[in-house]
Amino acid sequence: MKTIVFDFFGVVCSEIAPFVLPKYMAPDAAVEFKRTIVLDADLGKVSQEEMFEKLAKVARVPAKQLEEEFYALVRIDGEVVKLIEDLKQSYRIGLLTNAVVPFVRDVMAEHDIERLFHDILVSAEEGMAKPDPAYYARLLERMGAKPQDSLMIDDNPDNLVGARAAGMDGLLFESAAKLTQDLADRYTITA
């Protein structure tokens, strides 16, 4: 293993949309909103501002309030950050995230996240998203990495299916401690 790629939301940072959306709509409606409007924002088809305006209409609260809620839910996992810092000494480290901009870039800048990665791809900037195998391939190409020498770490099993379709291996993220153990057991990777 030469290259390790991390997801952002649900791995390095807390999930956001799954906690905000259900506050304002039924579970089925929240899933549909994420599958349509949030995905369009993740793909750069609608702006962050448009996404919050559409959510505001459904939620019947100001868009600014919703945006503030998104930012308030950001929690960076310090154990994952430490693990990445340790791994970066021996491996090329990438970040592949489905996210809207400028939100994700603001969060990364505020928490000094960019320094952890050799390369970062954000779906809204690339016009493609996980689990599209081409999205993984684009990051690996930019990193000069071979899929067979690369590992994707993600909290969403569907995204690992996409990684495997791109020729990468994948590990499901559950916690920093479990990931550390899985890396040691499966790949003899030690941080």
User: Is residue 16 within 8 Å of residue 9, measured between CB atoms?
Assistant: yes
Compute the distance between CA of residue 51 and CA of residue 47 in angstroms, rounded to an integer: 6
CB atoms within 10 A of CB 190: 10
Q: Of the candidates 72, 88, 104, which is a domain's last residue?
A: 72
In one-letter notation, the amino acid at residue 132 is D
Q: Of the candidates 28, 44, 72, which is a domain's last residue?
A: 72
Rounded to the nearest 5 degrees, what angle is found at the Cα of 191, between the Cα atoms of 158 and 163? 20
Identify the pLDDT of residue 191: 62
In one-letter notation, the amino acid at residue 39 is L
Compute the distance between CA of residue 65 and CA of residue 80 in angstroms, rounded to an integer: 29
Provide the domain count of the chain: 2
Q: Of the candidates 37, 57, 72, which is a domain's last residue?
A: 72
Identify the pLDDT of residue 189: 73
Compute the distance between CA of residue 32 and CA of residue 56 in angstroms, rounded to an integer: 15
Select from 88, 99, 106 the least CA-distant residue to 41. Answer: 99
Ordered per-residue pLDDT tens for the chain, 191 residues: 899 999 999 999 999 998 999 999 999 999 999 999 999 999 999 999 999 999 999 999 999 999 999 999 999 999 999 999 999 999 999 999 999 999 999 999 999 999 999 999 999 999 999 999 999 999 999 999 999 999 999 999 999 999 999 999 999 999 999 999 999 998 877 66
Give 46's DSSP letter: S
User: Is residue 66 within 8 Å of residue 59, measured between CB atoms?
Assistant: yes
Q: How far is CA 68 from CA 65, 90, 108, in A?
A: 5, 38, 16
Compute the distance between CA of residue 12 and CA of residue 154 in angstroms, rounded to an integer: 10
Model-level pTM?
0.95
Let me know whether 101 and 148 are in one domain: yes
Let me know whether 137 and 148 are in one domain: yes
Compute the distance between CA of residue 13 and CA of residue 163 in angstroms, rounded to an integer: 20
Residue 120's domain comprises 3-13+75-187
Identify the pLDDT of residue 188: 79
Q: Which two tokens stand for residue 112?
A: 């000094």
Q: What CATH number does residue 161 fall under?
A: 3.40.50.1000
CA atoms within 13 A on the CB side of 8: 26
